[in-house]
Each structure stands twice: as structure tokens, then as C-alpha cells.
Structure 1
Amino acid sequence: TALVRARASVADVVSGLEGDEQTGARLVYESLVAPARNIAMNAGLEGSVMVQAVEIESGAVGLNAATGEITDLVKAGIIDPAKVTRAALQNAASIAALVLTTECVVADKPEPAPAMGGGMDPMGGMGGMM
């Protein structure tokens, strides 16, 4: 819910930017609804519809994924960790800026997956009984 509410602030900033900065701000704007949309979809609901319903509301009103209802989350005992969410968003923006500045990323080379174990005897039945 906190990220959905933050979209309004990002929308205010987008109009004053140009070029790549505006593109980046638009990406942030669109990505802010992804967690709420995914929570709704994981609850078996239409994500975009639920996000739109939450955007219309204000305050602590959001989606209770357990019941599928738009409700006051604080009264329902659901805590939205806004400080953790803010820190995650700030860290993501910091990493994105670092990647854009350095124009490269260093990552570990993925380890090859081990071979799959042997399957059943293609002839069926009990093995070695021929």
C-alpha cells in the first residue's frame, strides 16, 4: 500500500523531467504497483483491478489478501512495513544509479546444474529379471 501511495509523488516529479530521467521516473512509477499486483494475483484476484481500487482509497486502506477485500489494514491487524519498503526502494534506486554510472555489472558465473539421476528401466517391471 505504501508503494501505491508513493506513485502520486513520483507522478508529480515525472512531468518536470526530460529524456532519460523522465524515462527512469516513469519506470519507477510503473514498478511501484508490481508488489501489490502480485499479492492480489497470488490471492487469486485480478491484480490490476485491485491496484486501481487501492489507488482510489487513501490512508491505510488496502487489500486484505486473506479475505480479498479492500479494508483498513491497520484495523484488520495487517502492518505495512513502510520503513522497510522505503529502504528497499532507496537501495534499488542506488544500485540502478551505480549500474547506469559504471555501465557494467559484475556477477558470479552460474554453476552448471548437476546431471539428473537415472530413471526407471525403460522395459518396465523389476530390473534384472530377464
Structure 2
Amino acid sequence: MAAKLVSLDMQARTALIRGLDIVADTVKITLGPKGRNVVLEKKFGAPVITNDGVTIAKEIDLEDPFENMGAQLVKEVASKTNDVAGDGTTTATVLAQALVHEGMKHVVAGANPMYVRRGIEKA
């Protein structure tokens, strides 16, 4: 059985945010009427050109396991938005990125993470 990797406190938060930012920053360039397309490399066949946020997010896998966890979190946001609304995945990804960054500011400043979560859920 493989050993488990453990990361705590600021080191873990930083890695999660890095992974989230990589996906969100890649997806956010497609936002709006002047949004750009992204080219996705496929293992078999021709590359795919798209501006669909959830499609782009699903194709991103990161090597660092902690960064990949952050990426998976934002992929889940895009996927659930796609399932529920069918559109708005890029907007949901950008909003999730902003919520995480603002929430982390409060947690780093000493706020209880559970209170921050409850506040976000009430809003």
C-alpha cells in the first residue's frame, strides 16, 4: 500500500489555491463575448478547439496531488453547474475562485473557517 501524503495549514491551503487558480485562470479567458478559445490536446485524433468552461476544466490534470485536489474542487463546481443549468460554467468557476480567495483572506486573518463557510452559504 502506498504511503499517504499529508499537508497541513498554510502549505495545504496554498497548494489547493494554486490548483484552483490554474483551472480557473485557464477557463476564465473564455468568459464573455470577447472570450478566447482554448485548444485541447487529445491523445488520439485532432486537437479540440472550444470555449466551453466545463470541457476545458475536465481536461486539466495536475501532477502535484495537492494542487490537483484544488483543481478537482473547481472542476466539480463547473460540472454541477453544467448539470443543473446547462450553461454558466465559466461564470461559476470565476465566482468560485473569488469566493475561495476572499474566504481564505478571512481564515488567514484568524476567522473560524466554519463561520466563513456558513456566511458564504447564507449569502
- Whether TM exceeds 0.5 here: the answer is no
Larger-Rg structure? 1
Shorter chain as normaliser: what TM range? 0.3 to 0.5
When you count helix as a share of all residues, which structure comes out higher? 2
Q: Calculate the TM-score normalised by the size of structure 1.
A: 0.34
Higher RCO (CA 8 Å, separation ≥ 6 residues) = 2
